[in-house]
Structure 1
Amino acid sequence: MSSFLSKNFLLESKAAEKLYHEYAASCPIIDYHCHLPPDEIATDKNFDNLTNIWLDGDHYKWRAMRTLGIDEKYITGDAPDKEKFMKWAETVPYTVRNPLYHWTHMELQSYFDVDELLDADTGEQIYDECTALLQKPSFSTQSLIEKNNVKTICTTDDPVDSLEHHKKIKEDPFGTKVIPAFRPDKAYSFDDVQGYNTYLDKLEEVSDISINNLEDLLSALEARIDYFHTQGCRLADHGVEKIYYAEATTEELSNAFDQVRGGDNLSKSQAYSLSYYIMLELGKMYESRNWVQQYHLGALRNTNDRMMRQLGPDTGFDSIGDFSQSQTLAKFLNELDSTDQLAKTILYNLNPSDNEVMASMIGNFNDGSTKGKMQFGSAWWFLDQKDGMEKQINALSNLGLLSCFVGMLTDSRSFLSYPRHDYFRRILCNLIGEDVDKGLLPNDIEWLGKIVSDICYNNAEEYFNF
């Protein structure tokens, strides 16, 4: 693989090479949004085999395998782990020009020093060698994190979570901070009334607050925010299709909550107004504690009813949605800003047609109080590949200040995903290097290198201030 994944992979100019090797490559990682399981970090887990650490839960790979005609038993079914891996190995050569082809080989090279291309012929040897390495202490979860120079990890945690594993990590620390992030989506998701009330019963228990009305709900959520804060949390995250809105009086909001708490379905307008109000009040709570709020917008989830019944959510049947985002998002941010209660905010879009919408939206609410207070978040999910990253960087550059960007995150459940930061850094350096070559930027590597290292690490360190 001498010409593929060389040390100058994705770097197409001398300026790009210097920017990457001298300024980007050595920056620590602040992974401020991911889905790593805290229990697997706390127990410093070693995985049984390469399938367990690499394929389990990875719906990017699952979608590719299904597309190639691989039977579900080798994907989420009961086939032996090695057979599942061999089906993935057969699939890899056919992922050319999909980011999975790059990520797969970057991860094999970065973690296991495997330079061979993965395919049906090399799969068994790669599986056996990597599985043997995974049994070593140097391949435990904490070791893998430290190997990648990760300074801080922010997991994604529900308000009802005990955070017991975060406590254990704090009591027995290793070289990386592991911090919870507050994800309250279930507190304003009303599609399944029975499920919603079961969730509120759990929230009652952990908050020690009886939830009989809307104000009780907000009090319970605030109690959990305070609890998360004591455990080091400084971020909240929301995953919604869009910010929905419908006009409602205070009385109508209270009545709507009473209705759903009583077990009755809400109309669409009731659900929209109530979820909007709850998110608005949460936003005020975040600002008062100097938290950062994140909004992941635009996913169309669980589109395949048959597979949803069979496998449940987060199994590879979501897609980009084409929701109109700008008007209600602007209203939401403006309502918080009008009382000076708008927290530092990161907006992520899943539909690439919204790149310029988000890049221009953040400029409406920057107020000089904080460098880069409003952030256009890194390319997310279906967009966290070369083309998507380039488009996000270009939109932000054209309509905002790329130099204030807080950079990349993994948004991953896998301990082998940190090369995505390296992927981003190479793409960033290549774009800036290309501009130098074209005479669009001065050949001042020291200055541009500072910008690069700020985006890769320093801006996030200053912005989140963990």
Structure 2
Amino acid sequence: MATPLTPHLDRLLPTSPEVRAIARELFAQVEHLPIVSPHGHVPAQWLSEDQPFGDPTSLLISPDHYLTRLLHSAGVPLETLGVGGHVLDEAGSRAAWRTFCDHWPVYRGTQVRYWIENELAGIFGITERPSADSADRIYDALCARLAEPAYRPRALFDRFGIEVLATTDDPCDNLVHHEKLAADETFTGTVVPSFRPDRYLEPGRPDWNTLVDALGAAADTPVDTWAGFLDALRARRRYFIEHGAVSADHSHADVVTVVLEPAEAGRLYDAARAGTATPEQTTALRRHLLTEMAGMSVEDGLVMTLHPGIYRNHSSATLRSFGPDSGHDIPMQVEFTRGLQPLLDRYGLEQDFHLVLFTVDETTFSREIAPLAGFYPSVYAGAPWWFIDAPDAVRRYRAAITDDIGFYRTSGFIDDTRAFCSIPARHDMSRRLDCGFLAELVAEHRIELDEAQELAVQLVTDIPRKAFKL
């Protein structure tokens, strides 16, 4: 007999009957509100071209590195899962799906299981738990669904109730798919690009000169001088803004910032372009460039988001075979208070500057990020990046920051995902956890029920809209 797949109606809500009743009431208000997704990685091309998804593996497994990394840790080769451009034929896709279902116990207790269950049951109507026995039946049922018009990208976009979806884009991208969506009167959603200049701000990269030349070509701006390089960055930011961008996204090993005199910055830029800069000099220039990016956000209004502290591409062999974003980025400790002081000393009090701080180091929430957001009107405490989907980490995030800054200095939830079909599950998880947290505050008589009701709605509407200027 098949084991049923039935996500519980009260999943993730508090276990105390009194508190759960309050949480249910709060969740009922927000369960079906539109999704605001101001940071993610779903390709705009999917919605622009609206082509049917090919198969269950390429949609649900291959692009989801949270899912594939756990299979890899269990000994499954990544190439058999279609990771990193390894294209699978129909037999390979079915074999990968069987492997995933056979390893279903690997996901017990993880956030991955939560959204996979919600995808299968909530979106595709799958009522059988994944297993070696059920793998082919589930695969065939999914293939049948994906052949239906109701499961094409735009139909799912509408069904998910997405109000705003932000993508993440290279500064040299021509944004043609965003243009097509904006010009298409049959598409009623809002999809905006995000400016992601990390690679161009890392003078220590071996390919940095090539990247800078490409930036200059895209901006039609000479980049043979420091001033020209900054002008090229400004030009591309303007191009993104013209296409609807609201944020510029940054991720480096740290958030140490410095302020260099223009002449010194120009000297280091020239040395980096000539290939004679030392590692110390390229690091100094990168840290100064982060401050320059803050200045540009003051000028043009793009929200600046920082999510540092990741050892990128930890496995060199995996990087060679599968490229970046294939599941082997590993968190590191990071420090904000001293590191950001030069940047905030220069721009932290600017009226229209928004700086959203994310972290993978939970200890910094209460020690550094919340106190910074509790003073600087420009600073917002971002959702617990990397652990955005981990229920216990989200609860710890709320507990760590709420005493200090409450709710209105936070970013709201971001799903940060390449896995399109996981978006509603991720937002559902966040809403349940926030309603549970608010219900606890009501039960402890720390806030009143009407305040919790107002907050539950604002956490998914007004708060992310304000932080990201939507």
**What TM-score do the two structures reach when normalised by structure 2?**
0.92
The gaps in structure 2 that reach 5 residues or longer are 15-19
* Alpha-carbon spacing, 1:53–1:265, altered in 2? closer, same or farther (3 Å): farther
Could you tell me which runs of 5 or more consecutive residues in structure 1 were left unpaired when the two chains were aligned: 367-372
Deviation (angstroms), 1:164: 0.6
Q: Would you say the 8 A contact 1:112–1:130 is kept in 2?
A: yes
Q: Which amino acid in structure 2 is aligned with residue 393 of structure 1?
A: R
SS across alignment from 2:416 = coil
SS at match of 2:199: helix
Match of 1:208 among 220, 225, 228: 220
Q: Distance in 1 between matches of 2:388 and 2:361?
A: 8
Determine which of 10, 15, 18 is the counterpart of 2:22. Answer: 15
Q: Secondary structure at the match of 1:407?
A: coil
Q: Which stretch has the larger CA shift, 126-135 or 284-293?
A: 284-293
2:339 corresponds to:
328
In the superposition, the TM-score normalised over structure 1's length comes to 0.92
Bigger Cα displacement from structure 2, 316-325 vs 147-156:
316-325
1:369: which partner in 2? Answer: none
Counterpart of 1:352 in structure 2: which amino acid? E
Match of 2:301 in 1: 290
CA distance in 2: counterparts of 1:345 and 1:36, whole angstroms: 23
Match of 1:34 in 2: 40
Q: RMSD in angstroms over aligned alpha carbons?
A: 2.0
Residues 366-381 of structure 1 mapped to structure 2, 5 A cutoff: 366=377, 373-381=378-386
User: 1:402 is matched with which residue: 394, 402, 407?
Assistant: 407
For the 8 Å contact 1:284–1:341, the answer to whether it is kept is: no
Does the CA contact (< 8 Å) of 1:243 and 1:276 recur in 2? yes
> Per-residue deviation at 1:123?
1.6
The structure-2 alpha-carbon separation of the partners of 1:365 and 1:382, relative to structure 1 and needing over 3 Å to count, comes to same
Counterpart of 1:126 in structure 2 is 138
> Shift in Å at residue 350 of structure 1?
0.9
The structural deviation recorded for 1:124 is: 1.2
Partner of 1:145: 157
1:13-52 per-residue CA deviation (whole Å, 9 max, x = no partner) reads 100000001x211221110000111111110121111101
Q: Residue by residue, what CA displacement relative to the aligned partner does 1:394-420 show, whole Å, maximum 9, x if unpaired?
A: 222121021453411110112112110
- Distance in 2, matches of 1:285 and 1:33, equals 20
Distance 1:162 1:441, change over 3 A: same
The whole-number CA distance in structure 1 between the counterparts of 2:43 and 2:176 is: 12
Distance 1:41 1:219 in 2: 32
Match of 1:413 in 2: 418
Q: Which position in structure 2 is the counterpart of 1:348?
A: 358
- State how far apart, in whole Å, the 2-side matches of 1:240 and 1:207 are: 24
Alignment of 1:428-439 (within 5 A): 428-439=434-445
Give the distance between the partners of 1:115 and 1:250, measured in 2 at CA.
63
Aligned partner of residue 103 in structure 2, secondary structure: helix
Distance 1:462 1:63 in 2: 34
- Asked if the contact 1:144–1:415 (Cα under 8 Å) also holds between the matched residues in 2, the reply is no
Give the number of equivalent residue pairs.
454
The one-letter amino acid of 2:55's match is: N
Q: Cα deviations across residues 120-139 of structure 1 (Å, max 9, x unaligned)? A: 22221111111211121111
Shift of 1:289: 2.3
Query: For 2:282 and 2:310, how far apart are their aligned partners in 1?
Result: 18
Per-residue CA shift, 1:88-142, capped at 9, x if unaligned?
1111222111111111101112211223222222221111111211121111111
Q: 1:33 to 1:72 in 2, by over 3 A?
A: closer
1:103 correspondence with 2:115? yes
| In 1: Cα distance, 2:391 partner to 2:314 partner | 26
8 Å Cα contact 2:413/2:464 also seen in 1:
no
